[in-house]
Structure formats: structure tokens, C-alpha cells
Amino acid sequence: MQRMGSGVAVIPTAPEATRNRDSHYPYRFDSYFYYLTGFQEPEAVLILCAGPEPKSVLFCRDKDMEREIWDGFRYGPQGALEKFGVDEAYPVSRLDELAPGLIAGQPQLFYTLGSDPAWDHRVTGWLNQLRAQARSGVAVPRALTDIRALVDDMRLVKSPYELGIMRAAANISAEAHGNAMRAAKPGAMEYEIEAELLHTFYRHGSRSPAYASIVAGGANACVLHYVANDAPLRDGDLLLIDAGCELEGYASDITRTFPVSGKFSAAQKDLYELVLAAQQAAIEKIRPGGHWNEPHEAALDVLIRGFIDFGLCKGSPESVLESGDYRRFYMHRTGHWLGLDVHDAGEYKTAAGEWLQLEPGMTLTVEPGCYVRPADDVPEHFWNIGIRIEDDAHVTADGCEIITSAAPKTVAGIEDVMRQSI
């Protein structure tokens, strides 16, 4: 409300989503709403009234013994008032009756127009209701501002409380990747390894992966968003796993790539150590005062030199960078913000178009890769090798803390863990 200065913000949580007929997807609240409230139930709206007498108003489902017998506990407005620290709370069934009164007289409306047509229609209805009373002196907001721009800046820098949850999520995911390495063997199905990941997530209290797990053996690793996870693992192939749990709303995001058999071939090891060196170069650039793109530039420099050494690209490092020929083997960026959303809120450039400066508390992934599809001009021993190595970094006062380092990563570390089977 301080950041708003004046005006009123309307922030609904996410709707429930039907999976099929009368079954729902597991409910996931909206991240902006949750960031501001900590409230996890569906059918809830937060209204923030800024100005000289600021107040927060939560609308939520009423207590309902019949529904609670069928579907489970609800806080109800009184319970929410006591538990979540809002100033006022009302049943969501009274929203249309009370919202216009909260908006009336406020100079600007903070609302995310266009993200949900049903909400747009509803909010427009409240404004029109107020406009109809203009001749009786009711003032209608003249300005519309996207509330996300304000909250994004806040979400970008994690508090110690948030970091504590993110460390715990990272540790669970790191353990899951170690277990996946121990479980992998020729003949196992990709989904069996996915089951190991989910087992470890759930056993530690995570209720969902943070995003669809990628468990990609052999050539499947060259499909960047492969999620079929239904192929058998073959001796001699690599297995790429990109998976992380969500804990108390916060995502973790780890990728590891390892040999199905437990031992890297010479060609696999060459490319793996190249990607690992690129990641190390990127990690060294994650520090306050550096800008967002420095880790990507550092990783790219290492990868391009390696691609030339291994005969994948031709020319000088400068010419390969200039021409973009490297994109055939490395076509994505080296990271993204991480938080309540796996690709978290927050800008990457300033309003002036400069890369954002890194600050303590920011949390990002660092994930270079290399993907080689078969082609006549590509050395055959590299065909169908897809490698990505991804960790989660928290910017500290003088560098960064890698919160996912418990997941084995060096060639020796991976081969060692894979000698232990479960």
C-alpha cells in the first residue's frame, strides 16, 4: 500500500480448473495473491485501499458445514481475519455489493486488465455502477495501473523467510536427483525414474512438482520441453532430467544429465565437461553489481570455444557469436528468475532498456546446455547427445550461494553416486 501511494487494488486469486467432467486439477492459488496474503483457498479476492487510512480487505468463502463435510476445512471471513492479518474480511458472496464502495473516491485502480475476461467484465461492471452515480458526486478512478508492476519489484528480491523455504525446496529436489541417478538403469522406463522424483518430493512434504518433469533419455534430451517420459532407457545413452519440487508455493528447478549405464563415454564426457565449464563461468558472474546478462555471456563464450574445438562450429569465437551459428547447439538462455513461479515475476531490463543489475536477495537459475541432432556436418560420436546442467543461485552480498549443490554434478561425483543402486 505504501508503494501504491494512493488508489485501490483488486487482486483475485486463481480460479479452480476442471480436468474432466467433475474432476478438478489440484488447486494452485495465484502467485501475486498468495505473495500478498498467504491465503491458499480458491474463490478469494484481496482489495487494498491505499491513502491516508490504508486498509486490506479479504473476500473469501464463507464457513459452510455442508461443504466442509464434503470438501474440507474453510477459514471463513472470521477465521481469515484472525489468521492472515487483514484489516477486514467478508464472504466472497458479498463482493459485488461491497467492492464499488471500496473503489469509489479513489484516484486510481490497480488491476491486471486482460488476464481473465470474467474478472474484466466484473470490474468493468463496478466502474459503470459508480459512473452512473457521478451526478450524485461519486468519483470514479481516472487511472488504471497494472498492480503486477509494483509487486514484481517486491517479488524479485527474496526475504530471508522466502530464502529459507527455497533452500528447503532445493534440498528436496537435489535429493530427488541423486535418487533418480541411483534408480536409472538400461531397460527402465523414463516414467519409472519420474516416479522416483515424485516419491522423493512427496515424502518430504512437497505436494507438487513446480513444473512438468522432463525425463528424457538419449535423443529425447534434444527436445527442450519433452514431457512424454514414456520411452525405455538404453545402455550408452545419456538421461537428462529437469525437475524440481514446489514447497509452500516456492519452486526449485534443477537439471542433471548422466549416463544411463553409470559411466560417461569419451564423447559424452567431452561435451558434459564443456557445459559444466560454461556453467562455472556463468556462476562466477552472479554477484551484486553485475548485470543480468553477464552469466549468459560468460557461458556462451565457453560454449562457443568448445563448439569450435570439437568441430561443431567453424570460424573464430567472434564470428560464431556474431553469426549465431552456435544456436544450432545452444538455443536457449542461461537462466531465469526463480520464486513462487518457476519462471518468476520480475523484469530483466530496466525501463531505460539496460540489463538489470543483480542485487542481494535475487534468485535465478543458471542452466547452460548443448543439444546435438544428427547431421552430415556433425561428428557422429556427438549425435543425439543432449546435456543441460541447471542450478539455483541466490545472490549474496559478495557473490552467490548455489542452493542446489547437493545434487551430484561432476563426472566423478555422478559416476560415484551411480555405483550405489536402490
List the interface residues with Mn ion, window 4-63 (CB under 5 A). none
Max Cα–Cα distance, the chain, nearest Å: 81
Least gap, CB of 170 to Mn ion (angstroms): 13
- Looking at 3, 24, 203, 343, which residue is catalytic? 343
Is residue 225 part of the annotated active site? The answer reads: yes
Amino acid at 185: K
Please, are residues 32 and 151 in contact by the beta-carbon 8 Å criterion? yes
Instruction: Calculate ∠ Cα 152-366-252, nearest 5°.
Output: 65
Catalytic, 121? Answer no
Q: Does the protein bind Mn ion through residue 391 (CB under 5 A)?
A: no
Placement of cell 546478462 in the chain: 293
Active site residue 336: yes
Query: Contacts with Mn ion: how many residues (CB under 5 A)?
Result: 2
Q: Is 367 one of the annotated active-site residues of the chain?
A: yes
Residue 224 or 231 having the CB closest to Mn ion: 224
* Stretch touching Mn ion by CB under 5 A, among 248-256, 301-309, 344-352, 395-403: 248-256
Cα gap 342→170, rounded to integer Å:
12
Output the smallest distance, CB 132 to Mn ion, in A: 49
Does residue 365 touch Mn ion according to CB under 5 A? yes
Given phi > 0 = left and psi -120 to 50 = alpha, else beta, which region is 85? left
CB of residue 89 vs Mn ion: minimum separation in angstroms? 37
Q: At what angle do helices 190-203 and 160-183 cross, to 10 degrees?
A: 140
Binding part of the chain for Mn ion, among 62-70, 90-98, 137-145, 360-368 by CB under 5 A, reads 360-368
d(CA 241, CA 389): 9
Q: What are phi and psi of 297, to 5 degrees?
A: -60, -40
- Compute the least distance from the CB of residue 388 to Mn ion, in Å: 9
Q: Which of 30, 190, 246, 367 is catalytic?
A: 367
- Measured between alpha carbons, how far is 354 from 356 in angstroms, rounded to an integer? 6
Q: List the one residue out of 26, 30, 32 whose CA is nearest residue 14.
A: 30
* Cβ proximity to Mn ion, 37 vs 220, nearer residue: 220
CB of 80 to Mn ion, least distance (A): 34
CB of 338 to Mn ion, least distance (A): 7
332 included as an active-site residue: yes
Say whether 253 is catalytic: yes
Query: Pick from 162, 196, 237, 253: which binds Mn ion (CB under 5 A)?
Result: 253
194 binds Mn ion (CB under 5 A): no
55 C-beta neighbours (distance < 10 Å), count: 14
Residues 314-353 as x/- pattern, contact with Mn ion by CB under 5 A: ----------------------------------------
The cell for 327 is 544456436
Q: What residue has cell string 538400461?
A: 186
For residue 109, report the phi and psi dihedrals to the nearest 5 degrees. -110, 125
The nearer residue to Mn ion, 213 or 365, going by C-beta atoms, is 365
Look at residue 20 and give its three-state secondary structure: strand
- Cβ nearer to Mn ion, comparing 60 with 243: 243
- Is 256 a residue of the active site? no
* Residue type, position 171, single letter: N
Instruction: Please report how close the Cβ of residue 292 comes to Mn ion at its closest, in angstroms.
Output: 15
- Outline where 184-254 has alpha helix (H): 190-203
Nearer to Mn ion, 40 or 280 (CB): 280
- Alpha-carbon distance of 168 to 151, in angstroms, equals 24
Q: Which stretch binds Mn ion (CB under 5 A): 94-102, 141-149, 252-260, 309-317?
A: 252-260
- What gap in Å lies between CA 316 and CA 306, rounded to an integer? 11
**Which residue in 332, 333, 373, 381 is the catalytic one?**
332
Which phi and psi (to 5°) does residue 257 adopt? -130, 130
Q: Quick one: 41 or 253, whose CB is closer to Mn ion?
A: 253
The residue among 56 and 363 lying less far from Mn ion, judged by its C-beta, is: 363
Active site residue 343: yes
291 catalytic per annotation: no
At closest approach, how far in Å is the CB of 336 from Mn ion?
6
- The DSSP symbol for 49 reads E
Q: Bridge-partner residues for 241, per DSSP?
A: 215, 256
37 grid coordinates: 496474503
Task: Give the range of 2-10, 38-46, 74-82, 250-258 binding Mn ion by CB under 5 A.
Answer: 250-258
Among residues 30, 41, 237, 242, the one annotated as catalytic is: 242
By annotation, the residues acting in catalysis are 22, 225, 242, 253, 332, 336, 343, 367, 371, 388, 390
Q: Which residues bind Mn ion (CB under 5 A)?
A: 253, 365
